[in-house]
Structure 1
Amino acid sequence: MILRPLREHDLDRVMELERELFGPGAWSRAAYREELAQAGRYYVAAESDGVVVGYAGIALGEDSEVMTVGVATAHRGRGTGAALLADLVERARAARARHVFLEVRAGNLGAQRLYERAGFESIGTRPRYYGDEDAVVMRLTLRSGRGDLTAAP
């Protein structure tokens, strides 16, 4: 598996994965085009044997926010999600982010465990964030107000 920047020509495959992974909550091609064009956004693809098997994105800033993480069902449990998340966190570090935030479905315990292993902690919930389900809000602290790193690399 290799990680590389997500490109517009990957969007056919991303749309397939979005439907598989997120159903009615899937992002549109237009939403991805807009995200890829925005300054301060970083999207990465995980590729195996020439096929995109996962992707992730982050909005970079002092308080960065994970926008999405998706891994093909057949490729789960192989470290793909952890590799994508680690890449996003490294981008946030390079951008001198203080925190990285994300929301995850309350019922998605596998993703919550992945985020916890990466050092994220649950800090609250957003009721009915996904329409039919609450979101758990998680945060990873990268540096304190003095600029020292406080999370393990």
Structure 2
Amino acid sequence: MRWWDIDAVFVLEKELFPDDAWSRGMFWSELAHARGPLATRRYVVAMDGDRLVGYAGLAASGAVPDSGFAAVADVQTIAVARDHWGTGLGARLLTDLLQAATAFECAEVMLEVRVDNTRAQKLYERFNFEPIGFRRGYYQPGNVDALVMRRTDPSTPASGVQGTEIHG
């Protein structure tokens, strides 16, 4: 994802998450940490021709030397245009994020998912994420709980989608 993608990302964000969409500023802030030797973020977009049809982002926090604390990654967002649901695009985006977690030398990957989003939960389970807890009232408005999931081995299985390009 680059700065010039933010307007298209924001349109899809508002369409898919109308009640709790990220602002343009939030995406700008994340991208500020996605380049250079000290990068701690990985944000990608999926294009179908000239149309942005998905995006995903990951944040890594580094290990603390001599503390026993290993680096951890958090899946910040994954979004796929409704007309691309069921095509494997979500799996491809998640594969890219898991590869980034490996590159960041993360020992585990965490995420939150709405308890009522069974489609996403099934995707994460296919990638060996396991439920480890809840965050009560995490998603607002509506006071919807989040299921917290973790994957302790970020090495990635092969996955792909024909005709859709992923760009970092």
TM-score under structure 2 length normalisation: 0.81
The CA distance in 2 between the partners of 1:15 and 1:67, in whole Å, is 15
Question: Do 2:45 and 2:55's aligned partners in 1 also have CA atoms closer than 8 Å?
Answer: yes
Pair 1:29 & 2:24 matched: yes
Q: 1:152 offset after TM fit, Å? A: 6.0
- CA-atom RMSD, angstroms? 1.2
Give the 4+ runs in structure 1 shifted more than 4 A.
none
Q: Percent identity over the alignment?
A: 48
For structure 2, list consecutive stretches of 5 or more residues without a partner in the other structure: 34-38, 62-70, 158-168
Distance 1:152 1:53 in 2: 22
**Structure 1 length normalisation: TM-score?**
0.88
Correspondence for 1:99 among 83, 105, 108 = 108
Within 5 Å, give how 1:58-137 maps onto structure 2. 58-61=58-61, 62-131=71-140, 132-137=143-148
* Higher RCO (C-alpha under 8 Å, 6+ residues apart): 2
Shift of residue 12, structure 1, vs aligned partner: 1.2
SS of residue paired to 2:147? strand
Deviation at residue 133 of structure 1 after TM alignment: 0.2
One of 3, 26, 34 as aligned partner of 1:8: 3
> Do 1:119 and 1:152's aligned partners in 2 also have CA atoms closer than 8 Å?
no
The number of residue pairs the alignment matches comes to 141
Report how far residue 33 of structure 1 moved. Answer: 0.3
8 A Cα contact 1:40 1:60, kept in partner: yes
Structure number with higher helix proportion: 1
